[in-house]
Amino acid sequence: MRFWQGGCVAVFLMAGAVQAAPPAPPVQEQAQPPAGTEPPPMRSLESTDGPPSTAPCPGLHSQMDAAVSPLVLIVEGPLPQLKPERAPTESEVKCVESLRAAGQKEIGEGKAGRGTAKYLAAVNVALPLAWATYRELAFALDKTAHPDPAIAAYRKAWAAIEIEDQRPGAKHEGVTVLAMAEIRDSIVRLGGQIPSPTSEVGRIVVANPTRKLQEQYFDKTIPLPK
């Protein structure tokens, strides 16, 4: 009898415990996107701009004050460094040619300051061509009766050649030697002083007349720039 009563009490207590336990929360299903729906594509990080435009020839269309002294511009003009320069690109060579042509035209029209500025811009575009650019500028000024600026430009051309000659592996080419001889003769003709040579090619030119150099290096003189 006691055993039956104890069993009933145990069953009653277990039933109460089951009723007292809170019901478990229903499991919520995660919402699924509609069929066929895809996430929006990520925004592209690549630039949509077109290819960069070609930079214009610097100095070609700039207008220098007509009152600027050509002599001052030339004296303050740059020269190459002893360290070998990077060879100019095709576009830089074309830019130099355009600047030289524009400078020569303006000097011929009586705008010596503006024309000289064009030549100096050409020197800045391609320093490896500095001596040829200064020499052409000197000839343009010489032809239009600007002796002092012409002498300064001739001396700049001379200095640029000597710098190139002092670089390792430099060779005394006939064209360069005769160009220096003509530069020297032009400076003397205009009443200027021959620069003191600082290179082997400079010493060769100073020590020999043009005719002897012509016979030694070339069969005829190189033409002056037109």
Give me the CATH number covering residue 123.
Answer: 1.25.40
Look at residue 179 and tell me whether its pLDDT is greater than 60.
Answer: yes
Q: Report if residue 25 sits inside a domain.
A: no
Share of the chain above pLDDT 90, in %: 56
Q: Report if residue 175 sits inside a domain.
A: yes
Q: What is the DSSP letter of 80?
A: -
Smallest CA-to-CA distance from 115 within 149, 79, 161 is with 149
| 120 and 57 Cβ atoms separated by less than 8 Å | no
Q: Report if residue 114 sits inside a domain.
A: yes
Per-residue CA distances from 163 to 44, 82, 130 (Å): 52, 6, 11
Distance CA 57, CA 53 (A): 12
Distance CA 34, CA 144 (A): 86
Range of the domain at 209: 70-217
Predicted TM-score (pTM) of the model is 0.71
| Domain count for the chain | 1
Token duo for residue 209: 């007349």
Please return the burial class of 15, using the count of CB atoms within 10 Å of its CB with bins 0-12, 13-18 and 19+: exposed
Please give the average per-residue pLDDT across 21-26, as a whole number. 48
pLDDT in tens, 28-83: 444 444 444 343 333 332 333 333 334 589 888 877 776 789 999 999 999 998 88
Token duo for residue 36: 């066929």
Q: Report if residue 143 sits inside a domain.
A: yes
Question: How many residues are present in the chain?
Answer: 226
Q: Report if residue 59 sits inside a domain.
A: no
Lowest-pLDDT range of 19-23, 78-82, 151-155, 166-170: 19-23
Q: Report if residue 28 sits inside a domain.
A: no
Distance CA 206, CA 13 (A): 128
Q: Report if residue 20 sits inside a domain.
A: no
How confident is the model at residue 55, as a pLDDT? 58
Distance CA 148, CA 71 (A): 7
How confident is the model at residue 125, as a pLDDT? 96
pLDDT in tens, 118-144: 999 999 999 999 999 999 999 999 999
User: What value, to the nearest 5°, has the Cα angle with vertex 156 and ends 151 and 157?
Assistant: 100
Token duo for residue 53: 């435009």
Q: 191's torsion region: left (phi>0), alpha (psi -120 to 50) or beta?
A: left
Q: Report if residue 166 sits inside a domain.
A: yes
